[in-house]
Amino acid sequence: MSAPTNAVVQEQSGFVVELEQFSGPLDLLLHLITEDELDITDLPIARIADQFLAVINELRLNQAADYLEMAARLLRIKAQLLLPRRLGEDEWEDPRAELVRRLLEYQQIRELVDWLGHAAARRAEQFGRGFRPEPPEAPPAPLVIELNDLLAAAERVIALIPEPVLHRVVPRPLDVEGATARIETVLATRERCGWLDVVGDHPTIVDVLSAFIALLELAKRGVLRLSQEGPFSPIVIERESPREAA
Amino acid sequence: MSPLAKLLEAALFASSRPLTVGELLTLEPEAGETAVRAGLAEIRDAYAAQDHGVELVEIAQGWQFLTRREYAEALDRAQFALRPRRLSPAALETLAIIAYRQPVGRVEVDEIRGVDSGAVIDKLLERGLVDVVTRGEGLGRPLLYGTTPQFLEILGLKDLDELPRLEELSVALRPPAPTEPE
Amino acid sequence: MSPLAKLLEAALFASSRPLTVGELLTLEPEAGETAVRAGLAEIRDAYAAQDHGVELVEIAQGWQFLTRREYAEALDRAQFALRPRRLSPAALETLAIIAYRQPVGRVEVDEIRGVDSGAVIDKLLERGLVDVVTRGEGLGRPLLYGTTPQFLEILGLKDLDELPRLEELSVALRPPAPTEPE
């Protein structure tokens, strides 16, 4: 595709997440990296994180969840890199590894996009037959359904149906107290946070439910305030009354 | 063919309607009307002389490529033979649910598939594979769907009893018999 | 041209999309595939030799008459023909991922792009460039997408093998399988 001059594209309800230059946080990151001619495999995270935050603030992308999530990820990696490493710790895993893998993968996609865009532009130099004769009053094309296809579809549908058909009560109580403590810890250091901050990385359904009930309870008690930009947009959790500097 | 004739040929081919000499002139205004007319005659003669399956015809105050009359029948026949249509996986799944669970409402189909099935059901209705057979009890008396005789015909079945019984059919696909409340 | 070639020419001329050899064969089933292929070559060569404004091109697993590249600008200016809408960068990104990972689910596309791709995929579905090809394993049996013949058509590709191989790209990437679990 040609230079990124396309108008702002509104991809999602209400949110302008795709500015003329960037199709997402990875694209923005990649842009920062190539602009500064940085080595992807040895990313100076602190520097990149600062630049990323500066750009999303400047472009007012700081309300879009995808960009915020990436910002949080960068800051987390930055923090992890600052942790002292014990000597002889061979198994140390570079906290940047996953991000680097994703960036390389994304870079590859961008290269393919260039190729596809070029191919599409070349194809557009040729026109096919424009005249479409009105189809004569022919019967519609015959429909083919094989019994096997139908049965395969039935099997797929069967597999969709959740395993335990009988309802069983799982004796696993919600941990609302734990979730409450967790939320309070997060809010002790930060004025506001997001949903992901209070449920953790790989929440189970129980975690999600616990956190949700805890949030509602804390909101009811006036400890925090919950807001949402619009339907389905990320939940913003804010401390109700800014405490005196802790 | 001359360069102008080739350009005219490309335009007449790509256009969705007959083009007048005036319109063709906009392709290369400095060529002049006489040259455009000469180019059109050149194309017409070239297609006639070299014995092609299409011809350039003067029609509706304009010019248009048309397939030769003698192929009309073969093309008409092919028109519907060209693409025997198949159902998409989504349509087959929906059809399977309706076939095994009929009469069944849309909400139930949605629940089983886990996605909105409105558009798919509409297409199946349009193709005459399912039809509204009755209305259900309860709120809003929802429309309930079942398969049509055409469904059986396409599958080559005499009646619904000939649909294979899947022993492993799980509860949700069995007729809503007395299952335990969830 | 041979009678079969003329019939094929008429059919290809009448169609606004590529026709496969199988489809063309329905015009005259007793002709046989070899004869149809020979007829196609005959037409292609005749148009090339006689210096026309259109050419017969092998595309999207089929054959189609297209105007020659050199007339792109003139035809564009005259606006007799409709130019296909351009794809946005987001659409191309999503298409690239689906083309290389097919069959692939939405979650995987989201992960690779780093943004929600639901709306983009819906648009690609609407334009017929991708389709649901099956369902995946695992929770909820997610819908898996793949590319369609129209995808090849808008890119001018004969088949998916014409896409660049990942090894040919300047960005080397280990195959996606053996990475650490996330």
Q: Which residues of A touch B100 (CB under 8 A)?
A: 154
Cβ–Cβ < 8 Å for B83, C19: no
Cβ–Cβ < 8 Å for B131, B146: yes
pLDDT over threshold 80, residue A32: yes
Q: Which residues of B touch A157 (CB under 8 A)?
A: 93, 96-97, 112-113, 173
Closest CA to C155 of C60, C66, C16: C60
Neighbours of chain B (3+ CB pairs under 8 A): A, C
Look at residue A172 in the predicted model and tell me its pLDDT: 62
Look at residue A90 in the predicted model and tell me its pLDDT: 64
- Delimit the domains of chain A by residue range: 3-83+94-123, 176-245
Q: Which residue of B has its CA nearest to C7?
A: B53
Probe site for chain A from B76, B170, B179, B182 (most A CB atoms < 10 A) = B170
pLDDT tier at C144 (50, 70, 90 boundaries)?
A: very high
pLDDT over threshold 60, residue C179: no
A116/C169 CB distance under 8 A? no
Task: Calculate mean pLDDT across residues A132-153.
Answer: 69
Between C90, C95, C111, which is nearest A11 by CB?
C90
Q: Which residues of B touch A169 (CB under 8 A)?
A: none
| Mean pLDDT of all residues belonging to chain C | 88
pLDDT over threshold 60, residue C83: yes
Look at residue C50 in the predicted model and tell me its pLDDT: 85
Give me the domains of chain C, ranges plus CATH numbers.
3-78 (1.10.10.10), 89-166 (1.10.10.10)
Probe site for chain B from A150, A156, A161, A168 (most B CB atoms < 10 A) = A150
Considering only A187-201, B68-82, B116-130, B150-164, which range has the smallest mean pLDDT? B68-82
Task: Calculate mean pLDDT across residues B89-109.
Answer: 90
Whether the CA torsion B117, B120, B124, B126 is positive or negative: it is positive
User: A164 in contact with B at a CB cutoff of 8 Å?
Assistant: no
CATH architecture of A176-245: Orthogonal Bundle (1.10)
Reading the block at residue A209, the tokens are: 């439910």
Look at residue A2 in the predicted model and tell me its pLDDT: 38
Look at residue A216 in the predicted model and tell me its pLDDT: 86
Q: Which residue has the higher pLDDT, A17 or C59?
A: C59
pLDDT over threshold 90, residue A56: no
Look at residue B37 in the predicted model and tell me its pLDDT: 95
Reading the block at residue A33, the tokens are: 């990296």
Task: Calculate mean pLDDT across residues A101-118.
Answer: 91
Task: Calculate mean pLDDT across residues B100-109.
Answer: 90
CA distance B72 to chain C (A): 9
Probe site for chain B from C36, C63, C71 (most B CB atoms < 10 A) = C71
Task: Calculate mean pLDDT across residues B5-12.
Answer: 96
Neighbours of chain C (3+ CB pairs under 8 A): A, B
Q: Which residue has the higher pLDDT, A187 or B85?
A: A187
B154/A155 CB distance under 8 A? no
Measured CA to CA, the distance from residue A146 to residue B96 in angstroms comes to: 12
pLDDT tier at B154 (50, 70, 90 boundaries)?
A: confident
Q: Which residue of C has its CA nearest to A129?
A: C16
Task: Calculate mean pLDDT across residues C138-150.
Answer: 86
Look at residue A3 in the predicted model and tell me its pLDDT: 38
What tens digit of pLDDT does each residue of A223-236 get? 888 888 777 777 88
Residue B120 sits at φ, ψ, to 5 deg, of: -65, -45
pLDDT over threshold 50, residue A64: yes
Percentage above 70 pLDDT, chain A: 75
User: A21 in contact with C at a CB cutoff of 8 Å?
Assistant: no
Q: Which residue has the higher pLDDT, A59 or C65?
A: C65
| Cβ neighbours of A21 (radius 10 Å) | 15
pLDDT tier at A13 (50, 70, 90 boundaries)?
A: very low
Between A4, A97, A119, which is nearest C89 by CB?
A4
pLDDT over threshold 90, residue B38: yes
Look at residue B136 in the predicted model and tell me its pLDDT: 84
pLDDT over threshold 50, residue B123: yes
Look at residue A177 in the predicted model and tell me its pLDDT: 82
Q: At a CB cut-off of 8 Å and minimum separation 6, what does C84 contact?
A: A124, C154
Probe site for chain B from A126, A132, A160 (most B CB atoms < 10 A) = A160
Look at residue B81 in the predicted model and tell me its pLDDT: 52
What tens digit of pLDDT does each residue of C92-132 get? 999 999 999 999 999 999 999 998 899 999 999 988 899 98
A window 120-159, beta carbon within 8 A of C: 120, 122-133, 156, 159
Between B14, B79, B154, which is nearest A138 by CB?
B79
Reading the block at residue C21, the tokens are: 């050899």
User: B21 in contact with C at a CB cutoff of 8 Å?
Assistant: no
Between B13, B46, B71, which is nearest C67 by CB?
B13
Q: Which residue has the higher pLDDT, A88 or C163?
A: C163
Q: Which residue has the higher pLDDT, B160 or C64?
A: C64
Q: Which residue of A has its CA nearest to B97?
A: A154
pLDDT over threshold 70, residue C86: yes
Q: At a CB cut-off of 8 Å and minimum separation 6, what does C53 contact?
A: B1, B5, B6, B7, B8, B9, B10, B11, B13, C67, C68, C71
pLDDT over threshold 60, residue C175: no
CA distance A242 to chain C (A): 32
Buried-exposed string B118-135: b where 16+ CB fall within 10 A, e elsewhere: eebbebbeebebbbeeee
Look at residue C180 in the predicted model and tell me its pLDDT: 43
C80/B19 CB distance under 8 A? yes
3-state secondary structure of C59: strand
User: B55 in contact with C at a CB cutoff of 8 Å?
Assistant: no
User: B170 in contact with C at a CB cutoff of 8 Å?
Assistant: no
B23/C78 CB distance under 8 A? yes
Look at residue B131 in the predicted model and tell me its pLDDT: 94
Tokens 């089983």 found at: B112
Measured CA to CA, the distance from residue A211 to residue B90 in angstroms comes to: 36
User: A112 in contact with C at a CB cutoff of 8 Å?
Assistant: yes
Please tell me the pTM assigned to this model.
0.67
Q: Which residues of A touch B154 (CB under 8 A)?
A: 143-145
